[in-house]
Structure 1
Amino acid sequence: MTHPHHGRYPYSALPDRPVYDWPGGRRLAVYVALNLETFDFGGGLGAELAPGGPQPDVLNYAWRDWGNRVGAWRLRDLFDALHWPASILVNSRLYRDCPGLIEAFRARGDEIVGHGRTNAERQGNLDEADERALIAEATEILTREEGKAPDGWLGPWISQSKVTPDLLAEAGYRYVLDWCHDDQPTWFTTRSRPILALPYPQELNDIPAIVARKDTGRDFAQSIIDGFDEMLAQSAKAPLVMGIALHPYIVGQPHRLRPLRAALAHITAHRDQIWLTTAGQIAAHISDQGIPKG
């Protein structure tokens, strides 16, 4: 008898793998992923602050819209103050919906990562032709606006079909963020060429933590501190990747921003021990150094 399997990567126990270093002989790579997203008014998907009523659901739409109008700019200022690089996960329709927003992060030198067209939809619900068209549309807009194609992709709502890694590899992507199955980058098999899966957090992610588990801002910030301290200690034995996933309509809120600032400052105080970087730089290091596939 056989059982369903994704067929993308084999089982591999962390203690059995080769040990390597990040740049500068560091063992812990830390990156922050800031999700900048746009939503449909009067329909489609969207995170909820409170149970939504009939459409148009003004309460939740306006809460999410506040993130692009206010929260994202406060997070930009926080990253500037702490000299943090960032990977900016971008819905392509933001260039139309929020002119100047992505450009402000581009001006910082941040990495721009593909994140679909809008977070009002899931790509995993589409057939292969429509999913390919979604990836192509988002990629074309980001390439035109940024002057180069994005290297990485996170599906809206961490949504994938059975062929998503194949389609992303065929579209030229070097890495994908949807899979949270390891603390090291993993090479995925596709029908054309390997694509790298980078660790993207579902625990240190403000939507599961604050919206789903109902953690407070201080709870979330303490989780970041505890996770960092433990991973720094664990990285003595193996190179690790720690990601922090943020959404401006959640942690941009003043009562959550203050404890977040303290958590990121805690990490910054250890800058000489870690590689504070972007997802794209991690992927490039793995590829350039020929870290073994598998």
Structure 2
Amino acid sequence: MSLPELNLVRPPLAAEPGYDHGWFPYSPLPARRGPSAGQAGQTGLALSVIVDVRAAEWESHAPAVGVPGGRGLAPYPDFPRMSHREFGHRVGVFRLSAILREAGIPWAAALDVLTAEHYPRALSLLQDEAAEILAGGLSGSRAITSRMSEAEEDHYVAQTMERLEGALGARPRGWMSPEGSQSFRTPAILAANGVEYMADWANDEQPYAVTGAGDLWSLPVFWELSDLSAMFVRGVGPEAYASAVLEAVDVLAADSIGSPRMLCLHLHPWVSGEPFRARAVRDLLVELASRTDVWWAAPGVVVEHGRKGQR
């Protein structure tokens, strides 16, 4: 039986063998030359943390992307889901930032326009304590999709960058789409708007060049080790989650002896900031901070380290 032809929009590039897109070629890690030394001469496993500080909209007409929280999507007004998410901005982000401060770990934040313009205390915290802030879209519930026209998507990205620059006083270098949403055009549109790297593709253990989008790079973020994927979606207990992260760090640290690796943890204040999870997350981060076989850096530093390794 023959399969029906799929009428998909493709990037404006010829696909490499084995891929159905042309944003970058297939690159097996063992065949790659990695960077020889990290920040201040460090080698081996680079660790980063991105704290997701994005708000979802209450309005019934908001173009939702099925943002998680509460007991799942329900008719408007969805108080269980939205109040659960709001916990992160009212309580969780302050608890999680205190944990990271105690551990002495530099961390980055993914920030949306909604939070930047309507949550001044949260914004002040990020400006004071985050080592880097990534652009996180207009809100946590406004997706980028292939149903947008090119002009609509470009407007979305441009508005996000301009309004965050106005709120922060500096233009973000990195981009993290709401709920990982992209269209087939997104890498090129990000590059055209001055974004240096994106943190949406979870397909590697090193940063890599998005060769079909100018000078754009990709920072892989481990989806299975995000607190959202593990503790909220799959129901992994806090101690089991901490154990899984430590196991991954052990394997990656050993592998990095021959080829430098990275691990970027994606944490959500409304998940890891909950009191019944916070102690396990705190103990995990303190233990990771005590290790001598890793080096910590903001995501942009890890990307720049990767760039140097391929020059």
Smaller-chain TM-score bracket:
over 0.9
CA distance in structure 1 between the aligned counterparts of 2:42 and 2:133, rounded to whole angstroms: 26
Q: 2:12: which partner in 1?
A: none
CA distance in structure 2 between the aligned counterparts of 1:11 and 1:190, rounded to whole angstroms: 13
In terms of mean alpha carbon deviation, does 45-54 or 80-89 score higher?
45-54
2:152 matches 1:152:
no
* 1:1-294 equivalence runs, <5 A: 5-19=20-34, 20-23=36-39, 24-43=41-60, 44=64, 45-124=66-145, 125-191=147-213, 193-270=214-291, 272-287=292-307, 289=308, 291-292=309-310
SS of 2:265's partner is strand
Q: 2:11: which partner in 1?
A: none
Runs of 4 or more consecutive aligned structure 1 residues displaced over 6 Å after TM superposition: 1-4
CA distance in structure 2 between the aligned counterparts of 1:42 and 1:57, rounded to whole angstroms: 10
* Cα-to-partner distance string for 1:90-133 (whole Å, 9 max, x where unaligned): 01111222112122121125201001010112112422111111
CA distance in structure 1 between the aligned counterparts of 2:122 and 2:266, rounded to whole angstroms: 18
In terms of mean alpha carbon deviation, does 94-103 or 254-263 score higher?
94-103
CA distance in structure 1 between the aligned counterparts of 2:142 and 2:167, rounded to whole angstroms: 22
C-alpha distance 53-286 of structure 1, shift in aligned 2 (>3 A) = closer
CA distance in structure 2 between the aligned counterparts of 1:219 and 1:22, rounded to whole angstroms: 30
Q: How far does residue 285 in structure 1 lie from its aligned partner after superposition?
A: 2.5
CA distance in structure 2 between the aligned counterparts of 1:262 and 1:160, rounded to whole angstroms: 34
CA distance in structure 2 between the aligned counterparts of 1:128 and 1:233, rounded to whole angstroms: 44
Q: CA contact under 8 A between 2:73 and 2:81: conserved in structure 1? A: yes
Question: How high is the TM-score relative to the length of structure 2?
Answer: 0.88
In terms of mean alpha carbon deviation, does 202-211 or 57-66 score higher?
202-211
Identity %: 27
CA distance in structure 2 between the aligned counterparts of 1:114 and 1:284, rounded to whole angstroms: 18
Question: How high is the TM-score relative to the length of structure 1?
Answer: 0.93
Superposition CA RMSD, Å: 1.8
C-alpha distance 53-18 of structure 1, shift in aligned 2 (>3 A) = closer
Number of residues paired by the alignment?
Answer: 289
1:224 aligned partner, one-letter code: V
Q: How far does residue 292 in structure 1 lie from its aligned partner after superposition?
A: 2.0
Q: How far does residue 213 in structure 1 lie from its aligned partner after superposition?
A: 1.2
CA distance in structure 1 between the aligned counterparts of 2:260 and 2:179, rounded to whole angstroms: 28
SS of 1:33's partner is strand
* Cα-to-partner distance string for 1:176-198 (whole Å, 9 max, x where unaligned): 1111111011101235x131101
SS of 1:35's partner is strand
CA distance in structure 1 between the aligned counterparts of 2:19 and 2:49, rounded to whole angstroms: 33
1:6 aligned partner, one-letter code: H
SS of 1:8's partner is coil
Q: CA contact under 8 A between 1:52 and 1:59: conserved in structure 2? A: no
CA distance in structure 2 between the aligned counterparts of 1:68 and 1:221, rounded to whole angstroms: 23
- For structure 1, the residue ranges without an aligned partner over 5 or more in a row are none
